């Protein structure tokens, strides 16, 4: 039989509910009160405190379907089964049944519920680690054999493959056992013949049938026994759709196939990898946007921007119409509704498509500017050394103009020029080290920390300073500032209270600059060069040989240790909350970004 997403979900949930499991809700992909994760990356993540005893579970047995995002798989998207967003079918036992129960449930559901022949199933188990004092999981081997798995289909794998932990820090952990499906000889030699368990092509993981949490990883990397044992299981819906329907890839399932075909028919140079990346990244972008995350250059917003711009870049690769970005997003939303895999919508379809259009326009502006600069660079033959575009120019395209390295690489290839990726990465790492140093220095400049919101407000302070000088006169200068993640406080010299009309004009001018999506450009120069260029220097600082100058279009130019956002569009809306006296001849503005 051919399975739909709904049939798989219903079969899974009904099976576990019939076996005493309580169905719990699908949580938002943006974690609540968990700074360790950008996105929910596993079904157990929203309930992980239940495994440590910090929270009481709603039931000792639970199940659900949870939308997950795994950013470590971005570069793998394009093969037959890797995705950045997927739907995890999960079941849990908190201090209830353990290895035997979990393995029996997994085998019964797969062979009786989904009618998979047991000969097609392989199980992996933990082989143990003497150095860490962790024994091999012989129990699981015995239970797999007892339910009917051929001993030759049970593979022992090491710590990195079959021992689960929350990370390098302390926390509950344990060996796991995973179930793989044999996709057949057309995808490579069998394990029995080759002795190699090929999980890239022939054998697909369809279920982590049990992370058996019986240990606690201590900070010194030793392991102690937990007070109670638990089981965490997970199965990717998309891979089950691929497996149960005997398809070549997840892109042949109902989730993607119609959209793939439409894109294939409406592009001049289709290639399978690009088609897959476009469809997958747009689908994930819909999920993230709906979770009230907007594209930016920090944290979750950075992942979203990376996915959207990667999709846009691959649309260029297949020579598709510029409007295809919005068209595919619309078809994706429709298909999510039709297959029942839609989230609880926080936005209408039109509102989500507007967000795609905004990011498309920003990317187009960046691309136009970067293309112009790139062409200027390659016209000057002195910029080409031994066939390579100078690495500092490649980095400037990235750092100053926001030009993705991959696009520079593509353009260089078309012009028969090479770029040195290793040198680019060296410069990027050096820039990161400089930024870390700058972050330490900003505490002297009024920043309470380097939280992303503080950084945004810091950039907004520059816009406010420039606006005050334009509206109130060039005699106005900064007298002090204090910036936290919640608000900015800016002191400046002025002899009287500002009128309501002046405050509205200030707000409007700052917001107008923000709406223009202007790049924030950092340059290094001597203090003399900086001042000659018109940059403002505050408080008569005693500068060193080099200073950082931050320029925002032709609106603002200041000597500053940073850090700042990359583009004003990241700031949101500027709103003045209060204007008051700070001291004689000094006024104070408190403002926020919403």
Topology of domain 443-593, CATH:
3.30.980
pLDDT at site 3: 95
> Interior CA angle at 42 toward 90 and 254, to 5°?
70
pLDDT score of 500: 92
Q: What is the DSSP letter of 267?
A: B
Q: What is the pLDDT of residue 582?
A: 78
Tell me, what's the pLDDT at 441? 37
Does the CA dihedral 564-567-572-574 come out positive or negative?
A: positive
Q: How far apart are CA 274 and CA 271, in angstroms?
A: 6
**Domain residue extents for the chain:** 5-252, 257-419, 443-593
pLDDT at 320: 92
- Report d(CA 92, CA 292) in Å as an integer: 29
Q: What CATH homologous superfamily does 5-252 map to?
A: Bira Bifunctional Protein; Domain 2 (3.30.930.10)
Sheet with 478-483, side-by-side order of all strands: 478-483, 488-493, 586-593, 574-583
Instruction: Report yes or no: 61 and 22 within 8 Å, Cβ to Cβ.
Output: yes
**Tokens 């085998």 -> residue:** 107
Fold: same for 5-252 and 443-593: no
Q: SS3 for 121?
A: strand
pLDDT of residue 119: 96
**Regions of the chain where pLDDT drops below 70:** 1, 166-169, 297, 400-402, 431-451, 538-544, 562
- Residue ranges in 209-298 assigned as alpha helix (H): 237-244, 257-265, 272-290
- Cis, bond preceding 563 (omega within 30 deg of 0): yes
pLDDT at 484: 83
Instruction: Give CA–CA dist 323/446, Å, rounded.
Output: 44
Q: How far is the C-alpha of 56 from the C-alpha of 53, rounded, in Å?
A: 7
> How does pLDDT run across 58-111, given as a tens digit for each residue?
999 999 999 999 988 787 898 988 999 999 999 999 999 999 999 999 999 999
- DSSP codes joined into one string, 307-343: HHHHHHHHHHHTTB-TTHHHHHHHHHHHHHHHHT---
Q: Enter the DSSP assignment of 118.
A: G
Q: Which of 138, 144, 135 is nearest to 225 (CA)?
A: 135
- The number of angstroms, rounded, from the C-alpha of 407 to the middle of its chain's C-alpha atoms is 20
């Amino acid at each position: 039989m051919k399975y739909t997403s709904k049939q798989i979900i219903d079969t899974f949930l009904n099976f576990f509910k019939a076996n005493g499991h309580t169905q719990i809700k699908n949580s938002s992909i943006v974690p609540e009160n968990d700074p360790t994760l950008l996105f929910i990356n596993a079904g157990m993540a929203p309930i992980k405190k239940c495994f440590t005893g910090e929270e009481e579970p709603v039931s000792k047995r639970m199940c659900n379907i949870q939308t997950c995002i795994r950013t470590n798989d971005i570069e793998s998207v394009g093969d037959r089964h890797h995705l950045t967003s997927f739907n995890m079918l999960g079941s849990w036992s908190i201090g209830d049944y353990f290895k035997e129960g979990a393995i029996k449930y997994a085998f019964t559901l797969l062979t009786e519920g989904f009618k998979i022949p047991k000969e097609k199933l392989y199980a992996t188990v933990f082989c143990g680690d003497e150095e860490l004092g962790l024994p091999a999981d012989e129990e699981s081997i015995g239970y797999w054999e007892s339910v009917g798995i051929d001993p030759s289909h049970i593979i022992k794998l090491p710590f990195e493959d079959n021992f689960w932990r929350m990370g390098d820090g302390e926390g509950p952990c344990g060996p796991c056992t995973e179930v793989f499906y044999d996709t057949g000889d057309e995808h490579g030699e069998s394990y029995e013949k080759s002795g190699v368990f090929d999980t890239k092509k022939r054998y697909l993981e369809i279920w982590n049938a049990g992370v058996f949490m019986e240990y606690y990883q201590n900070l010194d990397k030793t392991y102690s026994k937990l007070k109670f044992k638990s089981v965490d299981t997970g199965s990717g819906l998309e891979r089950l759709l691929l497996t149960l329907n005997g398809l070549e890839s997840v892109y042949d399932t109902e989730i993607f196939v119609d959209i793939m075909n439409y894109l294939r028919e409406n592009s001049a140079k289709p290639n399978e990898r690009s088609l897959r990346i476009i469809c997958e990244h747009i689908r994930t972008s819909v999920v993230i946007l709906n979770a009230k995350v907007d594209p930016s250059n920090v944290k979750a917003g950075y992942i979203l921007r990376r996915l959207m711009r990667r999709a846009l870049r691959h649309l260029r690769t297949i020579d598709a119409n510029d409007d295809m970005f919005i068209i595919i997003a619309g078809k994706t939303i429709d298909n999510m509704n039709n297959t029942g895999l839609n989230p609880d919508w926080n936005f209408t379809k039109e509102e989500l498509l507007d967000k795609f259009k905004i990011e498309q326009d920003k990317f187009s502006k960046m691309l136009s500017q970067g293309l112009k600069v790139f062409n200027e660079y390659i016209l000057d033959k002195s910029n080409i050394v031994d066939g390579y575009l100078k690495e500092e120019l490649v980095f400037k395209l990235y750092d100053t103009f926001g030009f993705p390295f991959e696009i520079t690489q593509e353009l260089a290839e078309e012009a028969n020029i090479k770029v040195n990726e290793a040198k680019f990465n060296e410069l990027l790492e050096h820039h990161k080290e400089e930024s870390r140093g700058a972050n330490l220095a900003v505490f002297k400049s009024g920043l309470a920390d380097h939280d992303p919101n503080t950084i945004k407000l810091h950039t907004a302070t520059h816009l406010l300073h420039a606006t005050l000088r334009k509206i109130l006169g060039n005699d106005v200068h900064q007298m002090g500032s204090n910036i936290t993640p919640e608000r900015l406080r800016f002191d400046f010299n002025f002899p009287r209270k500002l009128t309501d009309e002046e405050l509205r004009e200030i707000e409007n001018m700052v917001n107008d600059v923000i709406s223009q999506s202007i790049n924030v450009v950092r340059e290094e120069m001597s203090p003399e060069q900086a001042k000659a260029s018109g940059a403002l220097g505050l408080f008569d600082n005693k500068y060193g040989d080099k200073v950082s100058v931050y320029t925002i279009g032709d609106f603002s130019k200041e000597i500053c240790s940073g850090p700042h956002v990359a583009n004003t569009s990241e700031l949101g809306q500027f709103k003045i909350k209060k204007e008051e006296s700070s001291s004689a001849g000094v006024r104070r503005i408190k403002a926020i970004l919403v």
